[in-house]
Amino acid sequence: MGISYRIVNTDDNIISCDTTFDRSGGIFVNYIDIFLEALSAEKGRSNKTLISYASDLRLADNAIDGGLMNADQDKIQNYLSSLPDKATSIARKASALRGFYKFLMIEKIIKINPTKNLELPKRKRALPKFLSIEEIELLISSAGDVRNSLRLRAMLELLYASGLRVSELCELPMSGILGDKLLIHGKGAKERLVPMHDAAINALNKWLNVRGDTNSKYVFPSNGQTGHITRDGLFKIIKKCAVLAGIEPNRVSPHVLRHSFASHLLAGGANLRAIQTMLGHEDISTTQIYTHVMPEKLKETVNNHHPLANKKVKR
């Protein structure tokens, strides 16, 4: 059924509505689907994000009396406060609601944003896990004991050398190799250039020399449905490498290599903004968490040399 709109009451928060479905005798718009379509088309959000937003918004729509289109700040606040979820899960649900109502405001569908002054439980951000440089060397060396060792060595080198997300590595296209750099398509369809050091370039070239599949657009192709190595496949191989290297498997994952990349760069005195760019973090606060896993002496190095560290804050 197509979407149709009509003015219902300009004195209320809702300006316009839709005749696609009826609830309790009233006429409401299916703005959740419209919002999700906008996220997909304009923001380039992943299917995983869209599914998560859809679930969170529909759950709230069913739980709140009158639904999301008739919710005020108190109803939203009470709903979030009633959830038995962890603080991180509640924060994610609140983020979905904020995005939804922001969209409705921009589209002039509502006049008041009920999520403007929400109070949420404080999130306790878990510190990132990372391996020591010696453990990284052991892990990469253990790739030689695994079938398809050239492919695995290249993947491990790239994860650690360039701080790639697991999906970015698995879906890396041949067109993304630009000499000593990689063109990465990250979250939100954002592109970034990340450098590779000599060891990573050498490992990648050795793999490309034996890769064989000239028809695939992926650097690490497979015969599966996706056409490239899957996240699960990569996880399993890396866990096997951890066992061979004498490292607890539960301490090793593609994301741990990404954390190790950032932590070791920061410990070596790298600029926090440069690390943010290479990781593809939208907000510098996400990158700053790596300062919390460093010894005090290394924190001093960052505080003394980072360009924003000594900036005076007005109180």
**Per-residue pLDDT reduced to its tens digit, 32-43:** 989 988 888 776
pLDDT-derived band at 22, boundaries 50, 70, 90: very low
Q: What is the pLDDT of residue 265?
A: 85
Task: Report pLDDT digits (tens) over 56-97.
Answer: 999 999 999 988 988 999 999 899 888 887 777 888 888 899
Q: How far apart are CA 169 and CA 13, in angstroms?
A: 46
Instruction: Look up the pTM and report it.
Output: 0.56
Residues identified as active-site? 165, 187, 255, 258, 281, 290
Residue 66: exposure state from Cβ atoms within 10 A (0-12, 13-18, ≥19): middle
Higher pLDDT, 26 or 224: 224
Q: What is the pLDDT of residue 105?
A: 92
Q: In this structure, are residues 5 and 29 in contact, taking their beta carbons and an 8 Å threshold?
A: yes
Q: Is 181 left (phi over 0), alpha (psi -120 to 50) or beta?
A: beta
Tokens of 239: 């866990």
Write the pLDDT tens digit of every residue in 201-210. Answer: 999 999 999 9
Please check whether residue 135 is in contact with residue 118, taking contact to mean a CB–CB distance below 8 angstroms: no
Residue 90 contacts residue 83 (beta carbons within 8 Å): yes
